[in-house]
């Protein structure tokens, strides 16, 4: 069976359990095994883990040429890497050991999309990643925060008939985001439940103030005051991924452009090679690969400062 054929089943399952205030830890076929989770769950965690790197400042954006002297976003094409999809403890457990030994790690800014609730079963892996981060490693959440669910199904609930689950989701996520110092939700996955609306985006304001990757939106936006940008999946081939990014950049020529680029289970070497191909074959200083805080910060600045 084509693996893609399983997606509608996954999405319908997520839609249904979200109506009952459930979320998935989406251990998938292939890298889906995790040995000794019942043992590792007892790893002694600190009360809080700070983001290893400070948020870049507007002054740093100006110094790097991302923002002009008059405070507007430069006419460049900004790419942020959503490094996913770590909504499964098993994927985290299997991927971090080889990927964090990759000598290419640190060459390109990466937004590691580690759902913080994975600390229930793989706490030692999250702690290791934070301890061994480079200055180009940043930690955000995957889909759809502290657990994979469809946020629209927390309010539209024909099968369960339950009242809104947004308050419970907000309290659950706030606790996990605070412990792991996460303030960006990499992917609010709408799936089969329908596109998130302002009530759902409002729920994210208290725990994801620095930005959200989205599923069904047509382009970058400010939703309830927070910067958002739809994710776009990159091809597996480095050459094709570079061609896709370059094509998106050409379409945005003459104005600031943004691509929140999602890729799955790729090692740091893949991103470093992609950056090299972009530089060598698609040329020019107009494509900038930036960290997640810079990416969403520039989205916010552009949408606030642009003329009507």
- Domains of the chain, CATH where assigned: 3-25+47-305 (3.20.20.490)
From 184, 287, 173, 188, select the one nearest 230 (Cα to Cα). 188
Q: What is the pLDDT of residue 147?
A: 97
Average pLDDT over residues 226-249: 97
**262 vs 219: CA distance, rounded Å:** 15
Residues sharing a CB contact under 8 Å with residue 13, sequence separation 6 or more, in sequence order: 24
From 182, 223, 186, select the one nearest 83 (Cα to Cα). 186
Q: Does the bond joining 144 to the residue before it have cis omega, within 30 degrees of 0?
A: yes
Q: What is the pLDDT of residue 2?
A: 45
In the predicted structure, residue 307 carries a pLDDT above the cut 60: no
Tokens of 178: 């605070």
Q: What is the pLDDT of residue 28?
A: 62
Tokens of 115: 């759902």
pTM: 0.95
Q: What is the pLDDT of residue 34?
A: 84
Q: What is the pLDDT of residue 30?
A: 63
CB 286 within 8 A of CB 272: no
4-to-9, 44, 291 alpha-carbon distances in Å = 10, 38, 30
DSSP track, 72-90: PBPS-EEEEEEEEEE-SHH
**214 vs 19: CA distance, rounded Å:** 20
| 138 membership: H or E segment, kind and range | strand 137-143
167-to-51, 55, 56, 195, 252 alpha-carbon distances in Å = 26, 28, 31, 19, 39
**3 vs 51: CA distance, rounded Å:** 35
Q: What is the pLDDT of residue 3?
A: 46
Eight-state DSSP code of residue 213: E
Question: Beta 257-264 vs 226-233: how paired, if at all?
Answer: parallel
CB 100 within 8 A of CB 128: yes
Tens of pLDDT, residues 109-150: 999 999 999 999 999 999 999 999 999 999 999 999 999 999
């Amino acid at each position: 069976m084509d693996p893609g054929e399983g997606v509608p089943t996954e999405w319908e399952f997520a839609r249904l359990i979200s109506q009952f205030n459930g979320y998935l830890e989406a251990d998938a076929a292939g890298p889906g095994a995790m040995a000794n989770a019942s043992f590792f769950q007892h790893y002694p965690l600190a009360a809080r883990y700070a983001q290893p790197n400070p948020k870049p400042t507007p002054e740093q954006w100006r110094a790097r040429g991302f923002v002009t002297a008059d405070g507007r976003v430069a006419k460049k094409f900004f790419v942020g890497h959503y490094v996913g999809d770590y909504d499964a403890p098993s994927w985290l457990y299997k991927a971090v050991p080889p990927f964090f030994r990759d000598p290419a790690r640190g060459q390109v800014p990466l937004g590691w999309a580690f759902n913080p609730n994975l600390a229930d079963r793989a706490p030692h892996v999250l702690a290791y990643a934070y301890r061994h981060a480079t200055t180009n490693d940043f930690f955000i959440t995957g889909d759809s925060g502290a657990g994979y669910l469809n946020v629209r199904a927390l309010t539209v609930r024909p099968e369960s008939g339950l009242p809104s689950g947004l308050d419970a989701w907000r309290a659950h996520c706030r606790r996990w985001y605070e412990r792991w110092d996460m303030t960006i939700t990499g992917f609010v996955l709408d799936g089969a439940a329908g596109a998130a609306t302002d009530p759902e985006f409002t729920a994210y304001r208290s725990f994801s103030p620095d930005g959200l990757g989205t599923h069904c939106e047509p382009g970058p936006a400010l939703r309830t005051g927070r910067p958002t940008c739809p994710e776009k999946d990159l091809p597996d081939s480095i050459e094709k991924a570079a061609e896709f990014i370059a094509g998106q950049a050409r379409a945005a020529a003459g104005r600031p452009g943004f691509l929140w680029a999602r890729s799955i289970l790729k090692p740091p070497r893949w991103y470093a090679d992609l950056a090299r191909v972009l530089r060598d074959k698609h040329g020019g200083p107009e494509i900038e690969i930036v960290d997640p805080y810079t990416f969403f910060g520039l989205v916010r600045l552009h949408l606030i400062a642009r003329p009507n």
